[in-house]
């Protein structure tokens, strides 16, 4: 046991002074001269209030606070506000200072974060069972500001670094918390260095023998490993320098925990783990040239060393969900050893190392105000506008962004919904059938309507009725994409059934009139009665909104002047983005729809099942919702659509003025030769000037099979690309895939 009342020793005073100086140096770039006074105030309070406080480990509380602040600034990259809150955290947690005192001396930003830290401290006191999903979610709710979570992660990291001062029981408890809660959080936030260090330290105290064994093995092989890395890097450095590429190349040994996981998963000994290290090529280039430079370096690396096509990982075209961008390949290095090479820019590397806090720096925002702006609106200032790059933020929004609420079911299960979600959103979140039958809810034992807006902590019991059916005006009530999608599908199902009923009604009436319903007749009726779609026409018949007598009169008149009416009335105007073909000779006019280039604000889609591009033979399919999907005539779904829904098929063709680019996918097979992938990418990017979306390659028994997704202007461009790839030495076959 440590003496918690022991005065600070001279050695500890030295460590405190050293830590203080290190903090000031780390904060030079983020703290203005006029703000130093505020930092000193926070330190003075921490010193005054915490001078006689020791942590359970026996460490002076002030030293712990200084080290947390340094981690927050130096390793996470936060600013002045977070720095001050880190200094005040321990004295607040120990009750040496109150929130009221903090409010009197510091600004609202500091107060808000300190309130979040206070809430989390209270949550720990009330709910020690941290190994539950509810605790993790409640922690995020109580935190209010993402900086609260980051400060707590820094606190846990500092604790792990001094874990040898704790008793065995405390070590196991803290390791359990870090392993379950804080290391995964650090990973979600992109704090890979912190996450890796946490996992290594957890292993150090929970699997000591294996940790020592791997550490010893790494130490024994370090000299040989360093020699090999130097030998591997040398020719690359020379070639990259000759090509005028500014970059840094370094080798990085994998963490002890990751090596152990490889040994365990692959069931191999230490000596059989071939990728103990990875080579990183970090390119110094501007933002607009990043991807091109990465692929250029990839080409140079794979020219020098034979790549393994099945080990190419392209996270440039489609970054990982947590924002990670890089190009990974595995090549055959000296002595026939496989070596992983990671290629990325300085910007990508810092984001990979420091996570989400690094994003804002690359917008040129260096002030505390700029950091606050980023924290308040993460989506708007992320560097990459692609949705999948910011998905990790969507999964980690806190109440600071005012975009989520946490509510409970009657059984106490926690559910997370966007801010503004209603009872109806909650019902659809439970199940689509519950949503469709919802008539209201009991919130905190009080009856509320469908449009009631949920608040944090609400307990919600959905009320349903078997007689209830979805209504179109519900679209004005729901706010979540899940509920909106499910509701639209339910409404489409109802309308589709109505349309089928209407069609059957019309068939029966025509039969009574000794007439037959044909696709041509449907088209004429839809045009004559000015309907936007076949679907709407049949729905109105089912609802008796269209008089059967009017239909009969039109058909009889049409029979009298059939040829004239056929020339004038054929075709469907099912969507505004299609126009009748009226500029050709009258005898050539059919139900053909032109796709013109002005497609703004139009319910129009290219079918994903076959991905048509300009120049393909196509047809239109009128969907139940009234929009039109364009399919290739050889689409795998075309026979089924024609057989079951022939009356919804609309012949169509391109006008030649659509513009834009189209996504197409190719299947490529060939001989697994050195540089084959490089040759393919050079043809696409350099020779054709096309943009690659993704390329994935697998090899087996000397034959590779690749899938290339690329943006092309038209079918002519695609055919030229296929011919060029087919002419590459070693390529056996190139074929177009239906989907993208």
Name the DSSP class of 54.
B
**Residue whose structure tokens are 């393919």:** 680
Residue 618 falls in which region: left (phi positive, over 0), alpha (psi -120 to 50) or beta: beta
Can you tell me the distance from the alpha carbon of 694 to that of 315, in angstroms, rounded to the nearest whole number?
A: 9
Identify the CATH number of the domain in which residue 82 sits. Answer: 1.10.3210.10
Query: Are residues 414 and 349 both part of a single domain?
Result: no
On whether residue 119 sits in a domain, the answer given is yes
Of residues 49 and 372, more confidence is placed in 49
On whether residue 418 sits in a domain, the answer given is yes
Can you tell me the distance from the alpha carbon of 30 to that of 41, in angstroms, rounded to the nearest whole number?
A: 17
191-216 pLDDT per residue, tens: 888 999 999 999 999 999 999 999 99
What per-residue confidence (pLDDT) applies to 225?
92
Can you tell me the distance from the alpha carbon of 100 to that of 82, in angstroms, rounded to the nearest whole number?
A: 19
Name the DSSP class of 459.
B
Query: Are residues 639 and 560 both part of a single domain?
Result: no
579-611 pLDDT per residue, tens: 333 333 333 333 455 665 444 444 567 888 888
Query: What's the Cα-to-Cα distance from 554 to each of 104, 501, 614, 738, rounded to whole Å?
Result: 83, 21, 38, 42
**Residue whose structure tokens are 């002005």:** 598
Of residues 628 and 340, more confidence is placed in 340
Can you tell me the distance from the alpha carbon of 529 to that of 417, in angstroms, rounded to the nearest whole number?
A: 44
Alpha helix stretches (DSSP H) within 598-714: 638-644, 676-682
Query: Are residues 729 and 702 both part of a single domain?
Result: yes
Can you tell me the distance from the alpha carbon of 739 to that of 373, in angstroms, rounded to the nearest whole number?
A: 41
**Number of other CB atoms surrounding residue 236 within 10 Å:** 19
On whether residue 592 sits in a domain, the answer given is yes
Query: Are residues 649 and 714 both part of a single domain?
Result: no
Query: Are residues 167 and 24 both part of a single domain?
Result: yes
412-469 pLDDT per residue, tens: 777 878 888 999 999 999 999 999 999 999 998 889 999 999 987 788 999 999 889 8
Work out the angle at residue 73's Cα, subtended by the Cα atoms of residues 70 and 77, and round it to the nearest 5 degrees.
Answer: 150
525-558 pLDDT per residue, tens: 888 888 877 878 888 888 788 877 788 788 877 7
**Number of other CB atoms surrounding residue 482 within 10 Å:** 16
554-578 pLDDT per residue, tens: 887 776 665 444 444 443 333 333 3
Which DSSP helix (H) or strand (E) runs through 292? Answer: helix 290-304
Which has the closest alpha carbon to 736: 668, 677, 680? 668
> Phi first, then psi: what are they for 214, rounded to 5°?
-70, -40
91-142 pLDDT per residue, tens: 888 888 889 999 988 888 899 899 888 877 776 665 444 544 545 555 655 5
Can you tell me the distance from the alpha carbon of 445 to that of 410, in angstroms, rounded to the nearest whole number?
A: 10
Query: Are residues 191 and 110 both part of a single domain?
Result: yes
pLDDT, the chain, mean: 79
**Residue whose structure tokens are 């043809």:** 683
On whether residue 157 sits in a domain, the answer given is yes
Query: Are residues 676 and 547 both part of a single domain?
Result: no
Helix axes 519-528, 562-569, angle to 10 degrees: 70
DSSP-derived pairing of the beta strands 691-700 and 404-408: unpaired
On whether residue 5 sits in a domain, the answer given is no
Query: Which residues form the domain of 119?
Result: 10-206
On whether residue 643 sits in a domain, the answer given is yes
Query: Are residues 189 and 283 both part of a single domain?
Result: no
**Number of other CB atoms surrounding residue 452 within 10 Å:** 19
Query: Are residues 169 and 48 both part of a single domain?
Result: yes
For residue 472, count CB atoms less than 10 angstroms from its CB and return exposed for 0-12, middle for 13-18, buried for 19 or more: exposed
**Residue whose structure tokens are 């039969």:** 511
Can you tell me the distance from the alpha carbon of 151 to that of 86, in angstroms, rounded to the nearest whole number?
A: 6
Query: Are residues 162 and 56 both part of a single domain?
Result: yes
Identify the CATH number of the domain in which residue 423 sits. Answer: 3.10.20.30
Contacts of residue 349, Cβ cutoff 8 Å, sequence gap at least 6? 280, 282
C-alpha torsion angle, residues 371, 372, 376, 378 (rounded to 10): 0
Question: Among residues 634, 654, 674, which one ends one of the domains?
Answer: 654
On whether residue 3 sits in a domain, the answer given is no
Can you tell me the distance from the alpha carbon of 587 to that of 577, in angstroms, rounded to the nearest whole number?
A: 24
Question: Among residues 143, 172, 206, which one ends one of the domains?
Answer: 206
Q: Which residues pair with 670 in a beta bridge?
A: 704, 731
Can you tell me the distance from the alpha carbon of 578 to that of 293, in angstroms, rounded to the nearest whole number?
A: 42
Identify the CATH number of the domain in which residue 672 sits. Answer: 3.30.70.260
Can you tell me the distance from the alpha carbon of 629 to that of 625, in angstroms, rounded to the nearest whole number?
A: 11
SS3 at position 442? strand
Band of residue 673 on the pLDDT scale cut at 50, 70, 90: confident
**Residue whose structure tokens are 């591009």:** 613
277-298 pLDDT per residue, tens: 999 999 999 988 999 999 999 9
Contact assessment for residue 402 and residue 453, using Cβ atoms and an 8 Å cutoff: no
- pTM, 2 dp: 0.51
What per-residue confidence (pLDDT) applies to 667?
92
67-84 pLDDT per residue, tens: 999 999 888 888 888 899
Can you tell me the distance from the alpha carbon of 197 to that of 303, in angstroms, rounded to the nearest whole number?
A: 35
For the cut 90, the answer to whether the pLDDT of residue 342 exceeds it is yes
Query: Are residues 175 and 224 both part of a single domain?
Result: no
3-state secondary structure 607-673: CCCCCCCCCCCEEEEECCCCCEEEEECCCCCHHHHHHHCHHHEEEEEECCCCCCCEEEEEEEEEECC
Query: Are residues 73 and 136 both part of a single domain?
Result: yes
The total number of structural domains that make up the chain: 7
What per-residue confidence (pLDDT) applies to 569?
42
Contact assessment for residue 463 and residue 440, using Cβ atoms and an 8 Å cutoff: yes
On whether residue 483 sits in a domain, the answer given is no
Name the DSSP class of 732.
E
Question: Among residues 600, 619, 654, which one ends one of the domains?
Answer: 654
DSSP-derived pairing of the beta strands 593-595 and 578-580: antiparallel
SS3 at position 697? strand
Residue 157 falls in which region: left (phi positive, over 0), alpha (psi -120 to 50) or beta: alpha
């Amino acid at each position: 046991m440590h003496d918690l009342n022991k005065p600070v020793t001279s050695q500890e005073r030295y460590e405190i002074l050293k830590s203080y100086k290190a903090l000031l140096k780390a904060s030079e770039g983020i703290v203005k001269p006029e703000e130093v006074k505020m930092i000193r105030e926070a330190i003075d309070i921490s010193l005054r209030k915490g001078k006689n406080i020791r942590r359970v480990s026996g460490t002076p509380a002030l030293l712990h606070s200084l080290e947390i602040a340094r981690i927050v600034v130096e390793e996470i990259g936060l600013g002045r506000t977070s720095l001050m809150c880190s200094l005040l955290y321990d004295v607040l947690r120990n009750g040496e200072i109150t929130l009221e005192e903090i409010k009197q001396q510091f600004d609202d930003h500091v107060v808000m974060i300190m309130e979040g830290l206070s809430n989390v401290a209270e949550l720990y006191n009330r709910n020690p069972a941290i190994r539950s999903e509810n605790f993790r979610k409640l922690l995020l709710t109580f935190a209010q500001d993402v900086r609260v979570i980051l400060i707590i992660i820094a606190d846990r990291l500092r604790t792990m670094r001094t874990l040898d001062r704790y008793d065995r029981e405390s070590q196991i408890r803290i390791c359990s918390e870090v392993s379950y809660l804080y290391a995964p959080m650090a990973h979600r936030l992109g704090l890979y260095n912190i996450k890796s260090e946490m996992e290594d330290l957890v292993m150090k105290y929970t699997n000591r023998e294996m940790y020592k064994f791997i550490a010893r093995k790494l130490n024994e092989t370090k000299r040989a490993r360093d020699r090999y890395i130097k030998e591997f890097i040398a020719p690359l450095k020379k070639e990259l320098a000759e090509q005028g590429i500014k970059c840094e190349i370094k080798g990085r040994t994998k963490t002890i925990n990751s090596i152990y996981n490889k040994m365990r998963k692959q069931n191999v000994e230490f000596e059989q783990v071939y990728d103990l290290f990875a080579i990183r090529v970090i390119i110094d280039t501007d933002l607009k040239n990043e991807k091109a430079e990465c692929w250029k370096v990839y080409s140079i690396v794979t020219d020098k060393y034979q790549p393994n096509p099945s080990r190419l990982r392209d996270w440039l075209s489609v970054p990982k969900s947590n924002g990670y961008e890089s190009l990974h390949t595995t090549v055959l290095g000296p002595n026939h050893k496989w070596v992983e090479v990671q290629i990325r820019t300085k910007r990508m590397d810092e984001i990979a190392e420091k996570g989400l806090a690094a994003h804002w720096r690359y917008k040129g925002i260096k002030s505390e105000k700029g950091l606050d702006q980023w924290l308040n609106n993460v989506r708007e200032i992320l560097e990459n506008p692609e949705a999948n790059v910011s998905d990790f933020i969507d999964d980690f929004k806190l109440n600071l962004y005012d975009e989520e609420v946490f509510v409970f079911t009657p059984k106490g299960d926690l559910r997370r919904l966007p801010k503004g979600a209603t009872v109806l959103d909650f019902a659809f979140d439970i199940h689509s059938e519950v949503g469709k039958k919802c008539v209201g809810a009991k919130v905190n034992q009080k009856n509320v309507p469908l449009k009631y807006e949920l608040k944090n902590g609400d307990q919600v019991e959905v009320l349903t009725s078997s007689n209830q059916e979805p209504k179109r005006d519900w679209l004005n009530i729901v706010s979540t994409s899940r509920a909106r999608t499910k509701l639209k599908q339910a409404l489409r199902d109802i309308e589709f059934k109505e349309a089928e009923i209407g069609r059957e009604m019309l068939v029966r009436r025509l039969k009574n009139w000794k007439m037959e319903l044909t696709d041509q007749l449907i088209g004429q009726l839809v045009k004559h009665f000015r309907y936007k779609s076949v679907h709407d026409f049949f729905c109105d018949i089912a609802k008796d909104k269209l008089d059967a007598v009017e239909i009969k009169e039109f058909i009889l008149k049409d029979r009298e002047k059939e040829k004239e009416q056929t020339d004038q009335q054929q075709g469907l105007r099912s969507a505004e983005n299609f126009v009748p073909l009226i500029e050709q000779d009258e005898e050539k006019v059919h139900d053909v729809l032109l796709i013109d280039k002005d497609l703004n604000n139009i319910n129009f889609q290219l079918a994903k099942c076959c991905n048509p591009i300009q120049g393909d033979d196509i047809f239109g399919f009128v969907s139940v919702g009234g929009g039109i999907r364009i399919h290739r005539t050889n689409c795998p779904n075309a026979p089924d659509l024609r057989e079951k829904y022939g009356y919804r098929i609309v012949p169509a063709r391109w006008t030649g003025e659509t513009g834009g680019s189209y996504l197409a996918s190719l299947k490529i097979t060939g001989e697994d030769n050195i540089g084959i992938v490089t040759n393919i990418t050079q043809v696409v990017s350099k020779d054709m000037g096309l943009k690659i979306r993704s390329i994935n390659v697998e090899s087996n028994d000397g034959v590779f099979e690749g899938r290339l997704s690329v943006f092309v202007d038209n079918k002519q461009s695609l055919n030229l690309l296929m011919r060029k790839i087919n002419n590459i030495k070693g390529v056996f076959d190139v074929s177009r895939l239906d989907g993208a």
